[in-house]
């Protein structure tokens, strides 16, 4: 029961975060307001009408305005626009 020093369990050092909607995709964008990582497809300000103190430095917001990212507020997504009534 001694001498087993082969480091075989060190393969789980996976620091990459995944998209909040696509666990298999890498979350390359981070929404500081919502605290979610997003893939390139999902990268979008989900609630642009709500004040965000990070917006002026939000890369998602900048890239959306520059046309680099798709503006999700102008497309019909597959998920219904749920009204939070809580």
Tokens of residue 57, six digits: 């430095």
Question: 39 or 52, CB closer to Zn ion?
Answer: 39
Cβ pair 34, 46 in contact under 8 A: yes
Q: What are phi and psi of 18, to 5 degrees?
A: -110, 160
Question: 29 or 56, CB closer to Zn ion?
Answer: 29
Q: How far is the CB of 10 from Zn ion (least distance, A)?
A: 29
Q: How far is the CB of 74 from Zn ion (least distance, A)?
A: 18
Tokens of residue 74, six digits: 């102008």
Task: Give the footprint of Zn ion on this chain (CB under 5 A).
Answer: 19, 21-22, 39, 42
Q: How far is the CB of 40 from Zn ion (least distance, A)?
A: 8
Question: 22 or 65, CB closer to Zn ion?
Answer: 22
Cβ pair 74, 53 in contact under 8 A: no
């Amino acid at each position: 029961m001694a001498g087993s020093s082969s480091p075989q369990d060190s393969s789980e050092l996976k620091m990459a975060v995944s998209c909040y909607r696509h666990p298999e995709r890498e979350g390359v964008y981070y929404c500081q307001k919502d605290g979610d990582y997003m893939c390139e497809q999902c990268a979008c300000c989900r609630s642009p009408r709500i004040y965000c103190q990070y917006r002026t430095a939000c890369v998602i917001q900048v890239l959306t305005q520059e046309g680099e990212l798709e503006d999700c507020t102008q497309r019909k997504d597959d998920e219904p626009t749920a009204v939070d009534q809580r």
